[in-house]
């Protein structure tokens, strides 16, 4: 039974895509079977995981607004292999820019349409250990359906007040959806995803978030690093750019803090980190 984790916050540019891709990749090199769903119409995650791979745009209206009767449709029409072992992907599509209207219209006929994504994913749930969802920014029907599908939700935040507003909105939305549907997504917490931890004011801001949100605030911050932009230019997850730089170490620490990796998989991860070249990726251009 896969654990479904969504990277969701209304604000754009907070690190949802970087966090979703890198955490999915860390889980896959640890030996977990991971399905990545790219619901961000900017296609960044898809480009990073499936560079040069051929795929057809999936019918997202069907995925979000109808109930599938069998899982074959996922493998026939939605799920592709990525450039990485153990990591499959439902790639993004430009249709994701307008799907919010389709879901909105379908909801007028049946409010249970909100649960279609969740019910459809249950069909492939035993084929994966984790399903990771990257989302579009915004407070939209697309994100509401994603929240309903999730077991856990993580919010990367920026070191500013706009993120504070974004998280507050998200918590209200989650509670509202919980009251309307029989769902129980767990808000796993928020973390700073692109920060200069040495900057004056950061310590104060962190303390403020800790005080305001207590255990909803994750005390692991992802440090700002030039390797992150290198990774977007090369279209490679961070572990393939440099296994030891600060942002990679922070993502590894975050995954451990969240207890996403058990002891057995931790050994596989250690082996991957110790290897000179990344053995379990088809991408041979990996650096150490």
Ligand X SMILES: Nc1ncnc2c1ncn2[C@@H]1O[C@H](COP(=O)(O)OP(=O)(O)O)[C@@H](O)[C@H]1O
In 43-193, alpha helices (H): 44-49, 60-65, 72-73, 99-109, 116-122, 141-149, 161-180
DSSP lists the bridge partners of residue 187 as 153
Residue closest to Mg ion when measured from CB atoms: 17
Closer to ligand X at the Cβ: 45 or 120? 45
Nearer to ligand X, 23 or 281 (CB): 23
If you ran DSSP here, which 8-state letter would residue 2 be given?
A: P
Q: Classify 214 as helix, strand or coil.
A: helix
Q: Which does 224 bind (CB under 5 to 8 A by kind): ligand X, Mg ion, none?
A: ligand X
Contacts of 227 (CB under 8 A, 6+ apart): 238, 241, 242, 245, 247, 248
Q: Which is nearer to ligand X, 116 or 247 (CB)?
A: 247
138 contact, one of Mg ion, ligand X, none, CB 5-8 Å limit per kind: none
Of residues 2, 4, 10, 17, which one binds Mg ion by CB under 5 A?
Answer: 17
With CB cut-offs between 5 and 8 Å by kind, which of ligand X, Mg ion, none does residue 281 bind? Answer: none
DSSP state at residue 34: E
Q: How far is CA 181 from CA 45, 208, 230, 245, 258, in A?
A: 30, 33, 42, 43, 26
* Minimum distance, C-beta of residue 273 to ligand X, in the bound complex (Å): 19
User: Which CB atom, from 14 or from 30, has the smaller least distance to ligand X?
Assistant: 14
For Mg ion, which is the closer residue by CB, 16 or 118? 16
Q: How many chain residues touch Mg ion (CB under 5 A)? A: 3
In the complex, the smallest distance separating the C-beta of residue 14 from ligand X, rounded to whole angstroms, is 4
Quick count: other Cβ atoms within 10 Å of Cβ 55? 16
Q: What is the contact surface with ligand X in residues (CB under 6 A)?
A: 12-18, 44, 137, 193-194, 222, 224-225, 228-229, 232, 247
Selected from 25, 30, 40, 174, the binder of Mg ion by CB under 5 A is 40
Nearer to ligand X, 133 or 222 (CB): 222
C-beta atoms surrounding 42 within 10 Å: 16
Q: Report in angstroms how near the CB of residue 229 gets to Mg ion at its nearest.
A: 15
Separation of alpha carbons 147 and 133, rounded Å: 10
Which residues contact Mg ion (rule: CB under 5 A)? 16-17, 40
């Amino acid at each position: 039974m896969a654990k479904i984790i969504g990277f969701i916050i209304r604000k754009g540019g907070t690190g949802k895509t970087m966090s979703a891709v890198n955490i999915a990749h860390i889980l896959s090199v640890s030996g977990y079977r991971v399905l990545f769903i790219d619901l961000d119409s900017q296609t960044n995650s898809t480009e990073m995981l499936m560079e040069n791979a051929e795929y057809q745009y999936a019918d997202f209206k069907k995925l979000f607004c109808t109930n599938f009767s069998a899982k074959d449709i996922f493998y026939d029409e939605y799920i592709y292999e990525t450039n990485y072992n153990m990591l499959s992907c439902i790639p993004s599509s430009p249709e994701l820019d307008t799907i919010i209207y389709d879901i909105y219209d379908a909801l007028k006929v049946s409010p249970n349409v909100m649960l279609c994504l969740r019910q459809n994913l249950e069909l492939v749930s035993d084929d994966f250990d984790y399903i990771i969802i990257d989302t579009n920014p915004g407070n939209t029907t697309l994100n509401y359906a994603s929240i309903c599908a999730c077991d856990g939700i993580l919010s990367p935040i920026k070191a500013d007040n706009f993120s504070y507003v974004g998280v507050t909105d998200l918590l209200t939305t989650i509670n509202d959806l919980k009251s309307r549907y029989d769902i129980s997504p767990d808000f796993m917490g928020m973390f700073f995803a692109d920060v200069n931890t040495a900057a004056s004011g950061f310590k104060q801001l962190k303390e403020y978030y800790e005080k305001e949100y207590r255990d909803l605030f994750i005390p692991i911050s992802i440090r700002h690093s030039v390797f992150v932009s290198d990774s977007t230019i090369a279209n490679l997850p961070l572990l393939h750019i440099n296994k030891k730089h600060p942002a990679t170490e922070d993502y590894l620490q975050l995954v451990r803090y969240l207890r996403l990796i058990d002891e057995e998989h931790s050994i596989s991860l250690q082996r991957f980190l110790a290897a000179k070249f990344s053995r379990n990726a088809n991408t041979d251009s990996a650096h150490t």
